[in-house]
């Protein structure tokens, strides 16, 4: 019967042929970190095969992809993907400390694979940043800077929330917003609509800033749709929802590309393909993205058509209109009666 000997525990367990290492570990009550839940989307369950590599199954396709990305040696294997058959394997777990032990002990009894700390989703990510704000802020008092930023974030937040998004991270005078956390079907459209409305809100806000500070704010917005891991990040008592992944970094780079192109709202090719029948595009540009090879097509969006009014909404509007007309006529009638009474009875 196949066996697994664990280091540093110095413990041996017997398993069935073709048992997966991670499942065998958890079934035997051996703490084994697996942040993604055992789906080859992280490397925290990896082990060093000290002896018996020949008894381990070949790497699966997901493990092979991760091994290439992290440049892992053949002896480093993902426990969630590796089966053992026909002999004894001696291994050492590579991610294990007191906090891992505490998390393991808190897992629900009977679950072989604990719930992942995050969930992989395809969402839309929006980055926004105020152009030249640092230089402008240096000429102001700190309280004025806070006042301006709060007014700006409030208006931008309205546009984000109206379109089903949420701002989850503020970075100085910039922020990141996420769309499609609950339902990804219209995430791209919602993000682009929010971006267009943000520019409209800023145009309304700028005359006020210009009167007070003789300055108009300009912003850059970048939007990308892609696969990310969404989860809670931060200390246990102060966690917030965030998104991690290459798609987030790409969206940030798209926002920065506005500077070199001289635009205000750029979206990726992936985003454009989802809203090309709706978006009003001014131009298509090809730019180099830092950290990536080659050029990437980006699209400048200058507008979106208004959302269609639902029949229910029309009924509500009509009902409100007729009620307002009734109230106005009633007020005129009451005023006429009072005037007549004053003339007749001298009231």
**pLDDT per position as a tens digit, 267-307:** 999 999 999 999 999 999 999 988 888 899 999 999 998 87
Q: What is the pLDDT of residues 174-226, one digit of tens each?
A: 999 999 998 889 999 999 999 999 999 999 999 999 999 999 999 999 999 99
The residues near 206 (Cβ < 8 Å, ≥ 6 apart) are 216, 217
Query: Which helix (H) or strand (E) covers residue 176, if one does?
Result: strand 174-179
Distance CA 160, CA 222 (A): 14
pLDDT 10s digits, 37-79: 888 888 889 999 999 999 999 999 999 999 998 889 999 999 9
Kindly give the pairing relationship between strand 265-268 and strand 219-233: parallel
Among 111-115, 129-133, 297-301, whose mean pLDDT is lowest?
Answer: 111-115
pLDDT in tens, 239-251: 778 888 899 999 9
142-146, 155-159, 188-192, 330-334: the lowest-pLDDT one? 330-334
Does residue 96 surpass a pLDDT of 90?
no
The rounded distance, in Å, linking the Cα atoms of 84 and 138 is 63
* Residue whose C-alpha is closest to residue 93's, from 22, 51, 32, 3: 32
**Token representation of residue 236:** 């246990």
pLDDT the model gives residue 232:
77
Share of the chain above pLDDT 70, in %: 82
With a cut of 50, say whether residue 133 has pLDDT above it.
yes
Residue pair 251/224 in contact (Cβ under 8 Å)? The answer is yes
Average pLDDT, the chain: 86
By the 8 A CB rule, do 26 and 93 touch?
Answer: no
**Alpha-carbon gap, residue 6 to 261, rounded angstroms:** 56
Between 15 and 342, name the one with better pLDDT: 15
| 337 pLDDT higher than 90 | no
Q: What are phi and psi of 286, to 5 degrees?
A: -115, 125
How far the first Cα of the chain sits from its last, in Å, is 108
Contact between residue 124 and residue 177 where contact means Cβ atoms under 8 Å apart: no
CA R_g for the chain: 30
pLDDT score of 315 more than 60:
no
């Amino acid at each position: 019967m196949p066996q697994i000997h664990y280091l540093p525990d110095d413990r041996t367990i017997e398993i069935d042929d073709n048992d997966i290492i991670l499942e065998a570990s958890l079934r035997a009550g051996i703490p084994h970190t697996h942040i993604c839940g055992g789906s080859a989307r992280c490397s925290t369950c990896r082990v060093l095969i000290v002896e018996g590599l020949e008894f381990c199954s070949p790497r699966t396709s997901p493990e092979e992809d991760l091994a290439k990305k992290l440049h892992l040696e053949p002896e480093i294997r993902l426990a969630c993907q590796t089966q053992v058959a026909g002999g004894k394997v001696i291994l050492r777990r590579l991610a294990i400390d007191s906090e891992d032990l505490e998390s393991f002990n808190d897992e629900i009894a009977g679950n072989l694979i604990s719930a992942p700390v995050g969930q992989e989703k395809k969402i839309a990510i929006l980055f926004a940043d105020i152009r030249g704000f640092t230089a402008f802020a240096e000429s102001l008092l700190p309280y004025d800077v806070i006042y301006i930023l709060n007014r700006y974030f409030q208006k931008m937040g309205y546009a984000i929330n109206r379109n089903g998004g949420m701002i989850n991270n503020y970075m100085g005078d910039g922020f990141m917003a996420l769309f499609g956390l609950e339902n990804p079907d219209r995430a791209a459209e919602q993000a682009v609509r929010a971006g267009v409305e943000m520019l409209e809100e800023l145009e309304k806000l700028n005359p006020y800033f210009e009167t007070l500070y003789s300055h108009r704010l300009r912003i850059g917005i970048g939007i990308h749709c892609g696969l990310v891991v969404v989860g809670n990040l931060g200390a246990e008592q102060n966690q917030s929802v965030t998104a991690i992944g290459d798609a987030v970094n790409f969206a940030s780079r798209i926002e920065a590309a506005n500077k070199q192109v001289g635009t205000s709202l750029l979206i990726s090719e992936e985003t454009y393909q989802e809203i090309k029948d709706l978006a009003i595009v001014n131009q298509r540009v090809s730019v180099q993205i830092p950290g990536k090879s080659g050029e990437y097509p980006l699209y400048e969006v200058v507008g979106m058509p208004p959302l269609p009014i639902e029949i229910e909404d029309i009924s509500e509007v009509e009902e409100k209109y007729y009620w307002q007309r009734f109230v106005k006529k009633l007020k005129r009638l009451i005023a006429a009666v009072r005037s007549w009474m004053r003339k007749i009875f001298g009231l």
